[in-house]
Amino acid sequence: MVDYLANTEINSQRIAAVESCFGASGQPLALPGRVLLGEGVLTKECRKKAKPRIFFLFNDILVYGSIVLNKRRYRSQHVIPLEEVTLEPLPETLQAKNRWMIKTAKKSFVVSAASTTERQEWISHIEECVRRQLLATGRQPSTEHAAPWIPDKATDICMRCTQTRFSALTRRHHCRKCGFVVCAECSRERFLLPRLAPKPLRVCSLCYRELAAQKRKEEEEEEEEEQEPGTGAPGQPACLAGAICGASSGDDYDSDEDKEGNGDGEWPSHVEFYTSGVSWSSFHS
Ligand SMILES: [Zn+2]
Ligand SMILES: [Zn+2]
């Protein structure tokens, strides 16, 4: 149902329009066979608060960015390959409705739509695209996902020691493994999480113990294999090659989450999907 749009003039124009809205801050999006299926504003739950973000669903990628000028100018472009995506619907709460989680190995986050219908449209379209991408690439659905960061406001005290109270002077940190909000004391360690970054990242004390134990176990198993008769290789001294105890890796990613400016206005939550054959479709023309 999307194929008829591929390589059409209208599709090329829509993709060119998205590229121009991101300007030099975005990457080229036009590819042979790529189709822009729909776009709309979703609310993304960020570290500090929920913010409106523009989302574009293509047949193979999901692109989102912050809104500088509605319908004209976007920035902070993120591109997510759909074969890496898993969706998880979230239950309604009094404060938050129409939410779901977009999960990948590198990053997971919560978004919400303006209505139940919009939420359903987004979810069913994304899932259909993911299914087709997996078929096309022959990949298995991914099973390992990054933990979403728990928003700062969710807690005033460290979620590990439950003693440290956060304030202007006592800042919050996030464990890159479990996403919990923790104090500096409870997140002194760094650990290499290759799926997330090429350098060791901040982890909480509990995750550190678990990761270190897991790594030790893997190394012991490797050693046993190496020590099989005939190889003659001496066992390596047990060291946590992936772990750097207590050493800061320099940059802290805590401050990298979405440095967007004035995204606080009321944005229309209009959604448009371009595929035909479904009752809710609406076309640019
Ligand atoms: Zn703590
Ligand atoms: Zn943790």
User: What global pTM score does this model have?
Assistant: 0.76
**Residue 76 pLDDT:** 95
**176 CA to centre of ligand 2 in angstroms:** 7
Task: Label residues 138-148 b or e (16+ Cβ within 10 Å = b).
Answer: eeeebeebbbb
SS (H, E, C) 170-239: CCCEECCCCCCEECCHHHCCEECCCCCCCCCEECCHHHHHHHHHHHHHHHHHHHHHHCCCCCCCCCCCCC
Question: In sequence order, what DSSP letters do the residues of 241-254 get, joined into one string?
Answer: TTEESS---SS-GG
Nearest to 25 by CA among 69, 71, 55, 66: 66
**Residue 249 pLDDT:** 39
**207 CA to centre of ligand 1 in angstroms:** 13
**202 CA to centre of ligand 2 in angstroms:** 9
pLDDT tier, 229 (very low <50, low <70, confident <90, very high otherwise) = low
Instruction: Spell out which residues have Cβ within 5 A of ligand 2, the ion.
Output: 175, 177-178, 204, 207
CA distance 208 to 177: 9
Q: Are strands 181-182 and 173-174 parallel, antiparallel or unpaired?
A: antiparallel
CA distance 106 to 214: 20
Task: Give the pLDDT confidence of 58-107 residue by residue, as tens digits.
Answer: 999 999 999 998 888 999 999 999 999 999 999 888 878 999 999 999 99
Looking at the CA of 189, which ligand is closest?
2
pLDDT tier, 5 (very low <50, low <70, confident <90, very high otherwise) = confident
**185 CA to centre of ligand 1 in angstroms:** 6
Nearest to 129 by CA among 65, 4, 35, 44: 35
**172 CA to centre of ligand 1 in angstroms:** 9
Cα diameter, the chain? 73
DSSP H or E segment with residue 37: strand 36-45
pLDDT (average), residues 263-271? 48
Looking at the CA of 146, which ligand is closest?
2
**149 CA to centre of ligand 1 in angstroms:** 16
- Percent of the chain residues past pLDDT 90, beyond the cut: 65
Name the token pair of 19.
């590229």
**Residue 279 pLDDT:** 30
pLDDT value at 243 more than 80 = no
CA distance 89 to 24: 34
Task: Give the pLDDT confidence of 19-66 residue by residue, as tens digits.
Answer: 999 999 999 999 999 999 999 999 999 888 899 999 999 999 999 999
CA distance 202 to 187: 6
Phi, psi (deg, nearest 5) at residue 248: -75, 140
Name the token pair of 242.
């992936």
Tell me the average pLDDT of the chain.
83
CA distance 133 to 57: 13
Looking at the CA of 180, which ligand is closest?
2
Nearest to 101 by CA among 81, 123, 84, 80: 123
Task: Give the pLDDT confidence of 164-212 residue by residue, as tens digits.
Answer: 999 999 999 999 999 999 999 999 999 999 988 999 999 999 999 999 9
**Residue 185 pLDDT:** 97
**26 CA to centre of ligand 2 in angstroms:** 33
Per-residue DSSP letter, 147? P
Looking at the CA of 164, which ligand is closest?
1
Phi, psi (deg, nearest 5) at residue 76: 50, 60
**188 CA to centre of ligand 1 in angstroms:** 10
**216 CA to centre of ligand 2 in angstroms:** 18
pLDDT value at 242 more than 90 = no
**Residue 13 pLDDT:** 94
**41 CA to centre of ligand 1 in angstroms:** 36
- The residues, ordered by sequence, that sit 6+ positions from 243 with a Cβ below 8 Å of its Cβ are 189, 190, 191, 192, 200, 208, 211, 212, 215
**147 CA to centre of ligand 2 in angstroms:** 9
Q: Give the least confident one: 50-64, 117-131, 201-215, 256-270.
A: 256-270
**Residue 172 pLDDT:** 96
Nearest to 1 by CA among 121, 120, 127, 129: 129
**249 CA to centre of ligand 2 in angstroms:** 17
Pairwise pLDDT comparison (141 vs 56), residue with the higher score: 56
